[in-house]
Amino acid sequence: MPVFSLDPAQKHWCDELRAVAADRLRPLAEKGGPGRINRPLVAALGELGLLDRMLTAGALDLCLLRESLAHGCTEAETALALQGLGSYPIVQSGTDGQRARWLPEVAAGRAVAAFALSEPGAGSDAAALALTAVPREGPDGPGWLLTGEKRWISNAPEADFYTVFARTTAGAGARGVTAFLVPADRPGLTGTPIEMLSPHPIGALAFDSVPVSAADVLGEVDRGFRVAMDTLNLFRPSVGAFAVGMAGAALEATLAHTADRTAFGGPLKDLQSVSHQVAEMATRTEAARLLVYAAAEAYDSGAPDVPRRSAMAKLFATETAQYVVDAAVQLHGARALQRGHLLEHLYREVRAPRIYEGATEVQRTIIAKELYG
């Protein structure tokens, strides 16, 4: 399939997703509280089969899902994406027992997942993790006690389980990290919410000798960093798709506004400064979309340059969305900053993707490393 063109079935599916997002999911999102998991919204994603589709999707399907939902309801898109981010390590590296226990619950929207990688001192430098896993002998055999803190964790502290990355070998950098599946009710695990600009839930987790066993390991001991990177290589292009969805919604609102709004004797669109600005917004949005699709196809085809393409897609699409939403606010004027306006909402939402899952600067570092490597 050419990366620059979707087939009719894909276009129809995207149109359906946009309609579902606007008509069914947005009303549920509007009833949710800021900074809290909206469980009715997650349940609706399960009932619609979207969570199951997300768990089995290739990269392109995941991107189309996220872009289409983001266009109509950013909260629904984020709820779906966080379910994927927290549970994909189980899809990828989990045991049969782990998959059987958690994936049907995630797909149905009954269990909420979270991806716990970042720490107070290890955000962009994920290999610098300090959460320690100390060996212990337990009633169920050898295991570990997790001690330390995670921070900036989406869906914390209300998630039902966490994919947690901890240091099992001191001084080994990325080679000494293990991924664990940790249910939220484990003794010693507590959390607190963090109030953020973005409306979705984010919190900190404290681990006070939290017990885990070999049955909780995702993948192999000391190989957890690869679990994290494989997850991010899949989800980074789809973060770009989320950004493209927001940019598309802002562009669509701007086209309508500049066609209807009159100033200086005519519609805004007749002012060259306005029409050229809108043309630039549209061109950058389309370029970002194509870069995202290309990265997704590279992932699905098993291309060797997935890390570079994924980083490029996330970098360019998130920076583009910031530009497009900001330009849309400028062209709308003060009304766009009024609480409840679509662009006021997008203006708050669009900033975080330039930071999470690897900040813009990290993406540039990855790209340069891949180019010179």
Q: Name the percent of the chain lying above pLDDT 90.
A: 87
pLDDT of the residue at 316: 98
Q: Scanning the structure block, which residue is given the tokens 């994603």?
A: 45
pLDDT of the residue at 174: 84
pLDDT of the residue at 250: 98
pLDDT of the residue at 99: 97
Q: Is 25 exposed, middle or buried (0-12, 13-18, 19+ CB in 10 A)?
A: buried
Strands 189-193 and 262-263, by their bridges, are unpaired
pLDDT of the residue at 171: 87
Within this chain, domains 113-222 and 226-372 share the same CATH topology: no
pLDDT of the residue at 141: 80
Question: pLDDT tens digits, residue range 115-131?
Answer: 999 999 887 776 789 99
Q: Name the percent of the chain lying above pLDDT 70.
A: 98
Check: CB of residue 51 under 8 Å from CB of residue 4: no
Question: pLDDT tens digits, residue range 193-225?
Answer: 999 887 789 999 999 999 999 999 999 999 999
Look up the pTM and report it. Answer: 0.92
Class of domain 113-222: mainly beta
Q: Which positions are annotated as active-site residues? A: 357
The first and second tokens of residue 30, run together, are 């509007």
Sorted by where each begins, the domain ranges of the chain are 8-108, 113-222, 226-372
258: helix, coil or strand? helix
pLDDT of the residue at 1: 46
Q: Scanning the structure block, which residue is given the tokens 């389980």?
A: 161
CB within 8 A of 251, min separation 6: which ones? 278, 281, 282, 285, 324, 328
Segments of the chain with pLDDT less than 50: 1
User: What is the CATH number that goes with domain 8-108?
Assistant: 1.10.540.10
Strands 262-263 and 177-183, by their bridges, are unpaired
Nearest to 160 by CA among 285, 324, 37, 263: 37
What is the distance of C-alpha 23 from the center of its chain?
Answer: 23
pLDDT of the residue at 4: 66
Class of domain 226-372: mainly alpha
Rounded to 5°, the CA angle 108-207-239 comes to 45
